[in-house]
Amino acid sequence: MRLSEMLRRSAEHTMIIMVQTMFERLKSLEEEPIALVSQEEGEGEKNSAQESQVRMAPPDPKSPSLPLNSEYDDIPSSLLSSASTFALSKNDTLNESSIYDTTEEPIELDENGEEVRNEVKSKQERDAGSSPTVNASNEDEKDSEPRPFGLPSIKELFRVLVSLLNPHDVQHTDTMRLMALSILNAAFEVGGKTIGKFESLRNLAIDELCKYLFQLARTDNMVLLSLSLRVISTVFGTLRPYLKLQQELYLSFLIERLTPPTNSLRTIAFNAEFSSINSSIDSPLASGSSTPSTGRDRNLRLSGETSVATGEVRELLLESLGQFARDPSFMVDLWVNYDCNIDCGDLFEEVVKFLSKNSFPENTGYSVSNSYVICLDSLLLYVNHMVERLKSEKDKDRPSNCNLSWDQMSATDYNAGLRPAVYPYAAQLLQLKQQKNILREGASKFNENPKQGLEFLQANGIIYNDPSIDKNTSLAKFLKSTSRINKKLLGDFLSKPSNIEILRAFVKLFDFEGKRIDEALRELLESFRLPGEAQQIERIVETFAVTYFASGPAEIETQDATFVLSYSVIMLNTDLHNPQVRRRMTIEDYMKNLRNVNNGHNFSPEYLNAIYDAIRKREIVMPEEHEGQLGFNYAWKELLRRADHAGPSIICDVSLYDKDMFATAWKPTVAAISYAFSTAQDDTTLQKAITGFRHCALLSAEYKLYDVFDYIIMSLSKMTGLLGTRYSNETANNP
């Protein structure tokens, strides 16, 4: 017997009210001690059995202890209620039954048949009845109020709700996910930024919640997608300082999903000679990223192949992006946290270019709505926010609510509403962006020709710039930290005999202490592709063996044993995962091959078993070669690892960086406004374009960007017919 839709909605509404009450209590709870959180994370599997006793878990539908609903049809509801009450209090009843003594005392009768009471027993009863201690304890029990629920219950409820969102768990239906999304959205709306104060809740949101939400954002189910995007916006609105890399991934995913193929999109071309606005194919520089990037060109696909969103799905995703753009500090935050960060992508430039390219109507197969209005409004809103910051009081006179500088503040400080007294200098950020562009160009040159790339990097002071560090170490640090370098080329470069010293310096940059040999080898081989020639492999493994043995592994006695065991791990990885190998190596075969290798002794069976199981379960492969859900899980762990060192997302609603931002993005912005002005079919769009021109003119005049002002004047003069054709190529005087 299925529950009716009305009953289900009523239960869901009641659950939402309960969750709102629970998360409202977070505001009155004290922050959990850091030591307690560390202890919980460190215990892990040790207390898994104990945790399973108190964790919430759905009942097993196949369990024989769960009767079918039909078995209850003929039973009155009052009996069911009594039975359930008895089942809940059965243990308590059994415990209380031990209080009563079923053994009857012998009754003494006098000669008249009257009962004779035991004087000693009566005296004890009187003494017990008059005991002040017992009376006081009884009064305390009556007066004491039950303690309300605390953080553990809230955390467990939060964990269960998040687990229901797992799109790869077939036990959970979309109906259950919709219910969990509604409840989670209510929890974040009520708990708000208070959730970020508690590390256990924050870690669940940063990891599993975001991971599941981002995967649900790929669905074509409109109801599920709409609610997922709503929860994503709520989570970013409450925990944004903690979600720096998660926001980068999500925005990159939106741009990729919303960007159609290059050959199917006519875009606006900026003409530096102030000629008319033409529609043409956009340059590769202005095109969106082909894959959602998590900075430094580390690609993290949400799952499967990415398809271009169309119809209502496209509008929902655009609305999600537009909701981000409504935040006055959104574009500034992108500039400071990503574009001027060497380890991140150029999100500000990508968002502005995307909005500019999609801010005009186009009769194509993928767009049957007025979604271009959302892009145009978001672009004009970005310009309007800069003008509003100009009208407000100067940033240097703006009072700060804390005495810390931007680099001294944590994500918790930003999440609590604090703003730094000192922001990063605009010139300093601009220098970082220039260095980032040099690194990108140097990596590109290195991929084409390593020798020319190294010369370019040395000429620009990227490598060999510290006299205290030898050249091999300086180059090795660059190769290890720059993910834009081709991994196959890097493996060939390091394995050359002439670069053996660079290889040694490269391997020494890894910390292998306390790691099993397969774990250390996996970490090394995931930084570059292992070459195919035996001599190259031997050279790399030998260098690794020297460094790993120097870390003092307890299970290995000699350096030669380290080399043999390392080589055996590579061969085992090939044997277990190569589809051309029909007969896989067993653990017995693996142990037999390594007999008497460890200085005349055998390795411990437990040690070899651990190595074998680790390789069998997870292949050693380049991160870019992971596919499907396995690849996403691996890349997500890499994102979380980087997030530990990425720092907080700085929130800076100030005009310190508006000049550099406008100077970087004025061309696509003004070109989009010009196109909207020249092709406007209604008064509303025309008025928006005129307001956009006016705001851009105010900004160019304030920041003395004469080229921008000239272009605006010439464009308006030509489009309104104020200038004849013979003046079309002339440039106006500086204002």
What is the pLDDT confidence band of residue 555, given thresholds at 50, 70 and 90? very high
- Alpha carbon distance 469, 508 (integer Å): 14
The token pair at 36 is 């307690």
- State whether residue 364 is helix, strand or coil: strand
368 contact partners, CB below 8 Å, separation of at least 6: 311
Enclosing H/E stretch for 279:
strand 278-281
Highest mean pLDDT among 62-71, 534-543, 681-690: 534-543
* Rounded-to-integer distance, Cα 343 and Cα 337, Å: 10
Q: Report percent pLDDT > 90 for the chain.
A: 45
Burial 143-153 (b: 16+ CB within 10 A, else e): eeeeeeeebee
| 3-state percent helix, strand, coil for the chain, nearest multiple of 5 | 65, 5, 35
Q: Determine the pLDDT at residue 678.
A: 86
Determine the pLDDT at residue 402.
63
What pLDDT was estimated at residue 56? 58
* CA 353/CA 289 separation, integer angstroms: 11
* Average pLDDT value over all residues in the chain: 78
Q: Give the mean model confidence (pLDDT) for residues 266-283.
A: 40
DSSP-derived letter for residue 29 is S
Note whether 577 and 619 are within 8 A (CB). yes
Query: Mean of the pLDDT values across residues 209-214?
Result: 95
- Give the pLDDT band (50/70/90) at residue 595: very high
Q: What is the pLDDT of residue 167?
A: 92
Task: Calculate mean pLDDT across residues 374-385.
Answer: 94
φ/ψ bin of 704: left (φ > 0), alpha (ψ from -120 to 50), beta (otherwise): left
Q: For 346, phi and psi rounded to 5 degrees?
A: -95, 75
pLDDT digits (tens, 9 = 90+) for 100-109: 343 444 444 4
pLDDT score at 12: 85
**Could you tell me how far CA 713 lies from the centroid of its own chain?**
44
Residue 106 CA to residue 115 CA, distance in Å, equals 11
Contacts 24+ apart (CB under 8 A), 32-38: 32/151, 32/198, 32/199, 32/200, 34/199, 37/199, 37/200
pLDDT for 138 equals 53
pLDDT attached to residue 362: 58
Answer whether 613's CB lies under 8 Å from 289's CB: no
**Section 231-236 average pLDDT:** 95
DSSP state of 115: E
Q: What integer pLDDT is reported at residue 509 of this predicted model?
A: 95
Q: What angle do CA 133, 137, 141 make, to 5 degrees?
A: 170
DSSP-assigned letter for residue 726: G
Q: Evaluate if residue 182 carries a pLDDT over 50.
A: yes
Indicate if the pLDDT at residue 146 is higher than 80. no
Beta strand pairing call for 108-109 and 115-116 = antiparallel
- What is the per-residue pLDDT for 306? 60
As a whole number of angstroms, the distance between CA 666 and CA 352 comes to 9
- Lowest average pLDDT, out of 232-236, 364-368, 620-624, goes to 364-368
- Helix 174-191 to helix 5-24 angle (10° resolution) is 30
Confidence at residue 413, expressed as pLDDT on a 0 to 100 scale: 75
Instruction: Please count the other Cβ atoms lying within 10 Å of the Cβ belonging to residue 220.
Output: 12
Query: DSSP of 149-206, one letter per residue?
Result: P-HHHHHHHHHHHHHTT-TT-TTS-HHHHHHHHHHHHHHHHHHGGGGGG-HHHHHHII
Q: Are 664 and 676 in contact (CB under 8 A)?
A: no
Chain-centroid distance of CA 212 in Å reads: 10
Whether the CB-CB separation of 606 and 591 falls below 8 Å is answered with: no
Q: What is the predicted pLDDT for the residue at 623?
A: 60
For a pLDDT cut of 70, what percent of the chain falls above it? Answer: 72
* The pLDDT of residue 275 is above 70: no
Residue 148 clears pLDDT 80, i.e. is over it: no
Between residues 386 and 136, the one the model is more confident about? 386
pLDDT band at 4 (very low <50, low <70, confident <90, very high): confident
Distance CA 660, CA 308 (A): 32
In this prediction, residues 518-526 reach a mean pLDDT of 92
Using CA atoms, how far apart are residues 183 and 13, in angstroms rounded to an integer? 9
Residue 594 one-letter amino acid: L
Least confident of 73-77, 420-424, 441-445, 481-485: 73-77
Q: Quick one: average pLDDT of 260-282?
A: 45
Facing residues of 280 across strands?
Answer: 267
Other C-beta atoms closer than 10 Å to the C-beta of 12 total 16
Q: Which residue has the higher pLDDT, 297 or 437?
A: 437
Q: At what angle do helices 372-391 and 311-325 cross, to 10 degrees?
A: 0
- Among residues 587, 582, 580, the alpha carbon closest in space to that of 616 is found at 587
Closest by Cα among 580, 514, 506 to 540: 506
Model confidence at 448, pLDDT cuts 50, 70, 90, reads very high
161 vs 735: which has the higher pLDDT: 161
Closest C-alpha to 301, from 700, 44, 635: 635
Q: Residue 296: is its pLDDT beyond 70?
A: no
CA distance 229 to 215: 11
pLDDT at 361 over 90: no
Specify whether the CB–CB gap between 394 and 411 falls below 8 A: no
Question: What pLDDT shows up at residue 634?
Answer: 77
Among 432, 244, 250, residue whose Cα is nearest residue 339 = 432
For position 116, what pLDDT does the model report?
47
pLDDT at position 359 over 60: yes
| pLDDT tens by residue, 643-662 | 888 888 888 888 899 999 99
Q: How many CA atoms lie within 13 A of 159 on its CB side?
A: 14
Give per-residue pLDDT as tens, 72-105: 344 344 333 333 433 334 344 334 333 334 344 4
Residue 625: pLDDT band (50, 70, 90) is low
> 116-142 pLDDT, tens per residue?
444 444 444 444 444 444 454 555 554
